[in-house]
Structure 1
Amino acid sequence: MADRFVTIATFNDVTEAHIVKGRLEAEGILCFLGDEHIVGAQPFYSVAVGGVKLKVTAQDAEEAQAIMAKIHGGTSEYLYDDDLEMAPPMQEHVPARTCPNCGSDNVSEEKYNKTVFSLSYLLLGFPVPFRSRKFICYNCGHFWKDK
Protein backbone atom coordinates (compact mmCIF):
# COMPACT_ATOMS: atom_id res chain seq x y z
CA MET A 1 0.00 0.00 0.00
CA ALA A 2 1.40 3.38 -1.04
CA ASP A 3 1.83 6.08 1.59
CA ARG A 4 0.01 9.36 1.11
CA PHE A 5 2.21 12.44 1.35
CA VAL A 6 1.08 15.66 2.99
CA THR A 7 2.64 19.10 2.54
CA ILE A 8 3.49 20.46 5.98
CA ALA A 9 5.50 23.56 5.01
CA THR A 10 6.52 25.68 2.04
CA PHE A 11 9.74 27.65 1.63
CA ASN A 12 10.86 30.34 -0.78
CA ASP A 13 14.50 29.31 -0.36
CA VAL A 14 15.81 25.86 -1.37
CA THR A 15 18.60 26.00 1.22
CA GLU A 16 16.20 26.57 4.10
CA ALA A 17 14.04 23.70 2.89
CA HIS A 18 17.06 21.36 2.80
CA ILE A 19 18.05 22.35 6.34
CA VAL A 20 14.61 21.54 7.74
CA LYS A 21 14.44 18.35 5.66
CA GLY A 22 17.80 17.25 7.07
CA ARG A 23 16.63 17.88 10.61
CA LEU A 24 13.44 15.85 10.09
CA GLU A 25 15.44 13.02 8.52
CA ALA A 26 17.78 13.09 11.52
CA GLU A 27 14.73 12.56 13.72
CA GLY A 28 13.77 9.52 11.61
CA ILE A 29 10.95 11.05 9.58
CA LEU A 30 10.76 10.21 5.87
CA CYS A 31 10.32 13.43 3.88
CA PHE A 32 10.65 14.80 0.36
CA LEU A 33 10.91 18.22 -1.25
CA GLY A 34 8.59 19.15 -4.09
CA ASP A 35 9.44 21.76 -6.75
CA GLU A 36 12.95 22.19 -5.35
CA HIS A 37 14.59 21.98 -8.78
CA ILE A 38 12.25 24.54 -10.36
CA VAL A 39 12.90 27.05 -7.58
CA GLY A 40 16.62 26.20 -7.56
CA ALA A 41 16.96 26.84 -11.30
CA GLN A 42 14.70 29.90 -11.40
CA PRO A 43 14.32 31.49 -7.93
CA PHE A 44 11.81 34.05 -9.22
CA TYR A 45 9.39 31.20 -10.07
CA SER A 46 9.06 30.43 -6.35
CA VAL A 47 5.89 32.47 -6.00
CA ALA A 48 4.41 31.07 -9.22
CA VAL A 49 4.80 27.42 -8.20
CA GLY A 50 4.00 27.97 -4.53
CA GLY A 51 7.55 27.61 -3.20
CA VAL A 52 9.46 24.49 -2.23
CA LYS A 53 7.05 22.06 -0.59
CA LEU A 54 8.18 19.88 2.32
CA LYS A 55 6.18 16.64 2.17
CA VAL A 56 5.98 13.89 4.79
CA THR A 57 3.88 10.74 5.08
CA ALA A 58 0.41 11.24 6.55
CA GLN A 59 1.17 9.22 9.70
CA ASP A 60 4.31 11.31 10.42
CA ALA A 61 2.66 14.70 9.80
CA GLU A 62 1.83 15.52 13.43
CA GLU A 63 5.28 14.56 14.71
CA ALA A 64 6.97 16.52 11.91
CA GLN A 65 4.89 19.62 12.67
CA ALA A 66 5.77 19.34 16.37
CA ILE A 67 9.48 19.17 15.50
CA MET A 68 9.13 22.14 13.15
CA ALA A 69 7.36 24.13 15.89
CA LYS A 70 10.34 23.43 18.18
CA ILE A 71 12.75 24.55 15.45
CA HIS A 72 10.89 27.80 14.76
CA GLY A 73 10.37 28.43 18.47
CA GLY A 74 14.08 28.15 19.15
CA THR A 75 13.67 25.35 21.71
CA SER A 76 14.99 22.60 19.48
CA GLU A 77 17.55 20.30 21.05
CA TYR A 78 19.26 17.42 19.36
CA LEU A 79 20.38 14.56 21.58
CA TYR A 80 23.74 13.20 20.56
CA ASP A 81 24.89 9.63 21.05
CA ASP A 82 27.42 9.25 23.83
CA ASP A 83 28.87 6.21 22.07
CA LEU A 84 30.30 8.23 19.18
CA GLU A 85 33.99 7.77 18.58
CA MET A 86 35.93 11.02 18.55
CA ALA A 87 38.37 11.79 15.75
CA PRO A 88 42.05 11.49 16.65
CA PRO A 89 43.82 14.78 17.39
CA MET A 90 45.58 16.41 14.48
CA GLN A 91 49.34 16.15 14.33
CA GLU A 92 51.36 19.33 14.43
CA HIS A 93 52.92 20.49 11.19
CA VAL A 94 56.67 20.01 11.17
CA PRO A 95 58.32 22.15 8.49
CA ALA A 96 60.58 20.25 6.13
CA ARG A 97 63.05 23.10 5.64
CA THR A 98 64.41 26.01 7.62
CA CYS A 99 66.34 28.98 6.29
CA PRO A 100 70.12 28.55 6.74
CA ASN A 101 70.48 32.34 6.97
CA CYS A 102 67.92 33.27 9.66
CA GLY A 103 66.53 29.89 10.84
CA SER A 104 62.93 30.74 9.90
CA ASP A 105 60.48 28.02 8.88
CA ASN A 106 58.56 30.42 6.59
CA VAL A 107 60.15 28.95 3.45
CA SER A 108 58.85 27.72 0.11
CA GLU A 109 60.25 25.52 -2.64
CA GLU A 110 60.38 26.78 -6.20
CA LYS A 111 60.07 23.61 -8.28
CA TYR A 112 60.48 25.17 -11.72
CA ASN A 113 62.93 27.70 -13.06
CA LYS A 114 60.82 30.76 -13.86
CA THR A 115 63.27 32.19 -16.40
CA VAL A 116 63.39 29.05 -18.57
CA PHE A 117 59.64 28.61 -18.15
CA SER A 118 58.92 32.17 -19.37
CA LEU A 119 61.43 32.22 -22.24
CA SER A 120 60.27 28.87 -23.63
CA TYR A 121 56.69 30.12 -23.54
CA LEU A 122 57.65 33.25 -25.49
CA LEU A 123 59.84 31.47 -28.06
CA LEU A 124 58.08 28.11 -28.50
CA GLY A 125 54.52 29.05 -27.64
CA PHE A 126 54.35 26.53 -24.78
CA PRO A 127 56.17 26.39 -21.47
CA VAL A 128 58.91 23.83 -20.88
CA PRO A 129 59.01 22.82 -17.22
CA PHE A 130 62.69 22.87 -16.28
CA ARG A 131 63.11 21.42 -12.79
CA SER A 132 64.91 23.55 -10.24
CA ARG A 133 65.15 22.78 -6.53
CA LYS A 134 65.56 26.28 -5.13
CA PHE A 135 64.16 27.48 -1.84
CA ILE A 136 63.20 30.98 -0.75
CA CYS A 137 62.83 32.38 2.77
CA TYR A 138 59.94 34.83 3.04
CA ASN A 139 61.35 36.42 6.20
CA CYS A 140 64.82 37.44 4.97
CA GLY A 141 64.51 36.85 1.19
CA HIS A 142 67.44 34.40 1.07
CA PHE A 143 67.61 31.94 -1.87
CA TRP A 144 69.45 28.59 -1.68
CA LYS A 145 69.64 25.31 -3.59
CA ASP A 146 69.04 21.88 -2.13
CA LYS A 147 72.05 19.66 -1.98
Structure 2
Amino acid sequence: MAERLVTIATFNEATEAHILKGRLESEGILCFLGDEHIIGAQPFYSAAVGGVKLRVTEQDVEEAKAILSRIHRGDNQFDYDTIELAPPMQEHTEEITCPRCGSDNVNEEKYNKTVFSLSYLLLGFPLPFLSRKFACYNCGNTWKGKGKK
Protein backbone atom coordinates (compact mmCIF):
# COMPACT_ATOMS: atom_id res chain seq x y z
CA MET A 1 0.00 0.00 0.00
CA ALA A 2 1.35 3.44 -0.93
CA GLU A 3 2.06 5.82 1.92
CA ARG A 4 0.18 9.07 2.03
CA LEU A 5 2.13 12.33 1.99
CA VAL A 6 1.16 15.07 4.43
CA THR A 7 2.04 18.75 3.99
CA ILE A 8 3.72 19.96 7.19
CA ALA A 9 4.87 23.41 6.03
CA THR A 10 4.52 25.83 3.13
CA PHE A 11 7.01 28.43 1.92
CA ASN A 12 6.88 31.39 -0.44
CA GLU A 13 10.36 30.63 -1.80
CA ALA A 14 11.85 27.31 -2.86
CA THR A 15 15.22 28.14 -1.29
CA GLU A 16 13.94 28.04 2.27
CA ALA A 17 12.00 24.86 1.51
CA HIS A 18 15.15 23.18 0.16
CA ILE A 19 17.12 24.12 3.27
CA LEU A 20 14.56 22.65 5.64
CA LYS A 21 14.12 19.61 3.40
CA GLY A 22 17.85 19.00 3.68
CA ARG A 23 17.70 19.36 7.47
CA LEU A 24 14.89 16.80 7.67
CA GLU A 25 16.68 14.41 5.34
CA SER A 26 19.82 14.66 7.48
CA GLU A 27 17.66 13.51 10.41
CA GLY A 28 16.57 10.47 8.38
CA ILE A 29 13.10 11.66 7.38
CA LEU A 30 11.99 11.04 3.81
CA CYS A 31 10.42 14.24 2.47
CA PHE A 32 9.38 15.83 -0.80
CA LEU A 33 8.67 19.31 -2.13
CA GLY A 34 5.46 20.09 -3.97
CA ASP A 35 4.92 22.89 -6.50
CA GLU A 36 8.57 23.97 -6.32
CA HIS A 37 8.98 24.04 -10.09
CA ILE A 38 5.86 26.12 -10.67
CA ILE A 39 7.05 28.75 -8.22
CA GLY A 40 10.60 28.53 -9.53
CA ALA A 41 9.39 29.34 -13.03
CA GLN A 42 6.76 31.91 -12.00
CA PRO A 43 7.40 33.33 -8.50
CA PHE A 44 4.17 35.37 -8.59
CA TYR A 45 2.15 32.13 -8.70
CA SER A 46 3.19 31.38 -5.11
CA ALA A 47 -0.01 32.76 -3.61
CA ALA A 48 -2.16 31.07 -6.24
CA VAL A 49 -0.82 27.55 -5.70
CA GLY A 50 -0.31 27.91 -1.96
CA GLY A 51 3.47 28.12 -1.90
CA VAL A 52 6.11 25.40 -1.96
CA LYS A 53 4.81 22.50 0.10
CA LEU A 54 7.12 20.43 2.33
CA ARG A 55 5.60 16.95 2.50
CA VAL A 56 6.54 13.93 4.60
CA THR A 57 5.11 10.45 4.91
CA GLU A 58 2.21 10.04 7.27
CA GLN A 59 4.25 8.05 9.80
CA ASP A 60 6.94 10.78 10.06
CA VAL A 61 4.62 13.76 10.60
CA GLU A 62 5.07 14.11 14.38
CA GLU A 63 8.85 13.71 14.29
CA ALA A 64 9.20 16.13 11.35
CA LYS A 65 7.06 18.77 13.07
CA ALA A 66 9.13 18.40 16.25
CA ILE A 67 12.35 18.90 14.28
CA LEU A 68 10.95 21.94 12.45
CA SER A 69 9.80 23.54 15.70
CA ARG A 70 13.24 22.90 17.20
CA ILE A 71 14.86 24.58 14.19
CA HIS A 72 12.53 27.60 14.38
CA ARG A 73 13.16 27.99 18.12
CA GLY A 74 16.90 27.85 17.53
CA ASP A 75 17.44 24.87 19.79
CA ASN A 76 20.23 22.75 18.46
CA GLN A 77 20.73 19.48 20.27
CA PHE A 78 23.73 18.54 18.19
CA ASP A 79 26.87 17.84 20.21
CA TYR A 80 29.76 19.33 18.29
CA ASP A 81 32.31 17.92 20.76
CA THR A 82 31.71 14.38 19.54
CA ILE A 83 32.62 15.13 15.93
CA GLU A 84 36.01 14.12 14.67
CA LEU A 85 37.05 16.72 12.15
CA ALA A 86 39.04 15.66 9.15
CA PRO A 87 42.54 17.12 9.04
CA PRO A 88 42.71 20.20 6.84
CA MET A 89 43.72 19.49 3.29
CA GLN A 90 47.09 20.92 2.45
CA GLU A 91 47.02 22.67 -0.85
CA HIS A 92 50.17 22.68 -2.90
CA THR A 93 50.08 26.29 -3.97
CA GLU A 94 53.02 28.55 -4.25
CA GLU A 95 52.92 32.18 -3.24
CA ILE A 96 53.55 34.48 -6.19
CA THR A 97 54.72 38.02 -5.59
CA CYS A 98 55.25 41.00 -7.84
CA PRO A 99 58.90 41.40 -8.93
CA ARG A 100 58.56 45.21 -8.84
CA CYS A 101 56.89 45.93 -5.49
CA GLY A 102 56.94 42.53 -3.73
CA SER A 103 53.15 42.48 -3.20
CA ASP A 104 51.25 39.20 -3.11
CA ASN A 105 48.10 40.90 -4.43
CA VAL A 106 48.55 39.44 -7.93
CA ASN A 107 46.33 37.63 -10.41
CA GLU A 108 47.25 35.05 -13.01
CA GLU A 109 45.80 35.61 -16.46
CA LYS A 110 45.70 32.22 -18.15
CA TYR A 111 44.25 33.25 -21.50
CA ASN A 112 45.24 35.91 -23.97
CA LYS A 113 42.28 38.28 -23.78
CA THR A 114 42.89 39.84 -27.20
CA VAL A 115 42.91 36.54 -29.10
CA PHE A 116 40.03 35.28 -26.98
CA SER A 117 37.88 38.34 -27.80
CA LEU A 118 38.78 38.54 -31.51
CA SER A 119 38.11 34.85 -32.13
CA TYR A 120 34.76 35.16 -30.39
CA LEU A 121 33.88 38.20 -32.49
CA LEU A 122 34.98 36.74 -35.83
CA LEU A 123 34.25 33.03 -35.42
CA GLY A 124 31.37 33.10 -32.96
CA PHE A 125 33.24 31.03 -30.40
CA PRO A 126 36.32 31.78 -28.34
CA LEU A 127 39.68 30.15 -28.93
CA PRO A 128 41.51 29.81 -25.62
CA PHE A 129 45.12 30.60 -26.43
CA LEU A 130 47.12 30.07 -23.29
CA SER A 131 49.20 32.96 -22.08
CA ARG A 132 50.68 32.72 -18.61
CA LYS A 133 50.80 36.36 -17.52
CA PHE A 134 50.58 37.89 -14.08
CA ALA A 135 49.26 41.29 -13.07
CA CYS A 136 49.86 43.13 -9.80
CA TYR A 137 46.86 44.99 -8.36
CA ASN A 138 49.02 47.27 -6.21
CA CYS A 139 51.47 48.73 -8.74
CA GLY A 140 49.85 47.69 -12.06
CA ASN A 141 52.91 45.73 -13.22
CA THR A 142 52.35 42.87 -15.68
CA TRP A 143 54.91 40.17 -16.38
CA LYS A 144 55.34 36.69 -17.81
CA GLY A 145 56.76 33.87 -15.77
CA LYS A 146 56.42 33.09 -12.11
CA GLY A 147 57.69 36.08 -10.18
CA LYS A 148 59.43 35.89 -6.82
CA LYS A 149 58.59 33.14 -4.37
Alignment correspondent of 1:4 = 4
Secondary structure, counterpart of 2:88 in structure 1: coil
Secondary structure, counterpart of 2:63 in structure 1: helix
Secondary structure, counterpart of 1:77 in structure 2: coil
State how 1:71-86 maps to structure 2 within 5 Å: 71-79=71-79, 82=82, 84-86=84-86
Secondary structure, counterpart of 1:21 in structure 2: helix
1:16-62 Cα distance to aligned partner (Å, 9 max, x none): 11111111001000000000000111111011111111110000000
CA distance in 2, matches of 1:131, 1:55: 51
Report the Cα offset of residue 131 of structure 1.
Answer: 8.5
**Which segments of 5 or more consecutive residues in structure 2 lack a partner in the other structure?**
none
Name the Cα RMSD after superposition. 3.7
Alignment correspondent of 1:30 = 30
Report the Cα offset of residue 3 of structure 1.
Answer: 1.2
State how 1:1-147 maps to structure 2 within 5 Å: 1-79=1-79, 82=82, 84-91=84-91, 93-96=93-96, 99=99, 103-105=102-104
1:65-103 Cα distance to aligned partner (Å, 9 max, x none): 01111111121333459464514244485335651x555
CA distance in 2, matches of 1:130, 1:68: 52
Report the Cα offset of residue 2 of structure 1.
Answer: 1.3
Structure 1 residues 97 and 46: alpha-carbon distance in aligned structure 2, compared to 1, 3 A threshold: closer
Answer with 1 or 2: which has the greater Rg: 1
TM-score, reference length from structure 2: 0.67
1:88-126 Cα distance to aligned partner (Å, 9 max, x none): 244485335651x55555566778889xx59xx6xxx68
Structure 1 residues 96 and 102: alpha-carbon distance in aligned structure 2, compared to 1, 3 A threshold: closer
Across the two proteins, how many residue pairs are aligned to each other?
Answer: 138
Higher alpha-carbon deviation: 82-91 or 43-52? 82-91
TM-score, reference length from structure 1: 0.67
**Which segments of 5 or more consecutive residues in structure 1 lack a partner in the other structure?**
none
CA distance in 1, matches of 2:130, 2:11: 56
1:4-27 Cα distance to aligned partner (Å, 9 max, x none): 111111111111111111110010
Report if aligned partners of 2:98, 2:141 keep a CA contact under 8 Å in 1: no
Structure 1 residues 66 and 93: alpha-carbon distance in aligned structure 2, compared to 1, 3 A threshold: same
